[in-house]
Amino acid sequence: MLKNMPLKEMEHNFNKDFRGWAYVPKTHQAVNGLRDKNIVYRRIFLIDPMWFVNCSKKDIDCLFFNKIMFYPTDKDQALQYQKVVNVCFKKDINSNRYWKSSWRSISFLCI
């Protein structure tokens, strides 16, 4: 039985270089676009929406206030990523905080 969900280690405090994020239907991923000193754009690819649980508080705030971009035909898929960010923001779930919670007790909030 799996007691803890394995999460990808995330880059933290990317909010200062954040340019926007979008759902990419071709790869079924969310992509965070970041400004970089050496490169015009740098990207973080997120395959699983639950990886946002491992972001810093400032990054969650940034993603919450800057909503995900998507094509209208991909709304349902894209909003899965946004809903996880919304729950993390409203329940104060992030990598900087040790939290005890049963996922069954968290009601997923509507946008």
The pLDDT tens digits for 19-62 are 889 999 999 898 888 877 776 678 888 888 888 888 889 999 99
Q: Domain tally for the chain?
A: 1
Whole-model pTM: value is: 0.75
What is the span of the domain harbouring residue 70? 15-101
Q: Per the domain annotation, does 92 fall within a domain?
A: yes
Cα(48)–Cα(25) distance, integer angstroms? 14
In a domain, 7, yes or no: no
pLDDT digit string (tens) for 89-109? Answer: 998 888 876 555 555 555 554
Q: Given the structure tokens 């919304």, which residue do they identify?
A: 86
